[in-house]
Amino acid sequence: MAASQPMTVPRFRERKGGEKIAMVTAYDYVTAALVDEAGIDAILVGDSLAMVVQGHHTTLPVTLDEMVYHAEMVARAVHRALVVVDLPFPTYFANPQSAIDAAARVLKETRCQAVKLEGGAEQAPTIEALTRAGIPVMGHVGLRPQSVHQMGGYRVQRDRERLEEDARAAEQAGAFSVVLECVPRDAAAHITEVLSIPTIGIGAGPDCDGQVLVLHDLIGLTREKPPRFVKAYANVSDTIRQAVQTYCDEVRSSAFPDDRRCYE
């Protein structure tokens, strides 16, 4: 298990090129408490909750109010990990001020420490404005799920020049870290080498400074088959199904509740 010192943005940055950073999503109090206890370095309250928790087909429908609602539950549970919250579509697109308004709400109302937004070069002025306002920003380049329609689906992004340009732009604008999603491993390795901030990979190979996964994928609690880059470390879907089937059987046969679970 990792050390108990609370993770901060500067400590996160200092892990560049050192011990790899382990990050995972959480959307509620109990899972956030469990992953924090397990020693995770950082938690992402991802807009993936639109798909994973709300059952939408994309991340686009989740609102800022809903992100704040989930982030607040997560922050209440966490003692050590850095908590980063996704700015949802399209709260930061209109202009940098709209991003500051959305991010300020997240920091003021949830006690989380940083925000993440999708985009590199085209979001540089926004990242710069947020950073100048004292709001730590994690960039996100490669596959950008909020642009799924423009990208034509959830595909590996292979334009190496654009990937590097976006990652460098995020760094220069002041991002403290950048997520690389669904990019070839050699491109991720190269970007990791040329950047001075930590890269966090998801479907980007082993050479990034850290990795992030959607918790539900990692524990096998999904409805759809997860992408190829996911490793499921448990099968919680089966555990839930089996437990509830047994419960149904025991209720129907009157085996539950037994004597030990009754009050006299």
- Residues with catalytic annotation? 181
**Pair of tokens at residue 136:** 């730590």
CB 47 to ligand KIV: min, Å: 5
Q: Cite the beta strand spans of the chain per DSSP E.
A: 21-25, 42-45, 82-86, 114-116, 137-142, 177-181, 199-202, 210-213
The separation between the first and the last C-alpha atoms of the chain, rounded to the nearest angstrom, is: 44
Pairing of strands 21-25, 137-142: unpaired
**Closest distance between ligand KIV and the C-beta of residue 213, in Å?**
8
Of the two residues 44 and 129, which places its CB atom closer to ligand KIV in the complex? 44
Residue 181 CA: distances (Å) to CA of 40, 43, 259 = 20, 16, 53
Q: Is 45 in a helix, a strand, or coil?
A: strand
The minimum distance between CB 211 and ligand KIV, in angstroms, equals 10
Q: Is-contact 42 63, C-beta < 8 A?
A: no
Instruction: Using CB under 6 A, list all residues that contact ligand KIV.
Output: 25, 44, 46-48, 86, 179, 181, 202, 212, 214
Q: Please, is 222 exposed, middle or buried when counting C-beta atoms within 10 Å of its C-beta (0-12, 13-18, 19+)?
A: middle
Tokens of 255: 């085996």
Q: Reduced to 3 states, what is the DSSP secondary structure of residue 201?
A: strand
CB of 118 to ligand KIV, least distance (A): 8
Q: Could you tell me the smallest distance in angstroms from the CB atom of residue 242 to ligand KIV?
A: 27
Least spacing, CB of residue 245 vs ligand KIV, in Å: 30
Closer to ligand KIV by Cβ: residue 174 or 203: 203
Compare residues 206 and 257 and give the one whose CB is closer to ligand KIV.
206
Closest residue to ligand KIV, judged by C-beta, is 46
142 burial via Cβ count (<10 Å: 0-12, 13-18, 19+): buried
Tell me the C-alpha distance between 174 and 130, whole Å: 9
Containing H/E element for 14? Answer: helix 9-14
Nearer to ligand KIV, 89 or 107 (CB): 89
Q: Give the residue with the Cβ less far from ligand KIV, 77 or 202.
A: 202
Output 187 or 214, the one with its CB closest to ligand KIV: 214
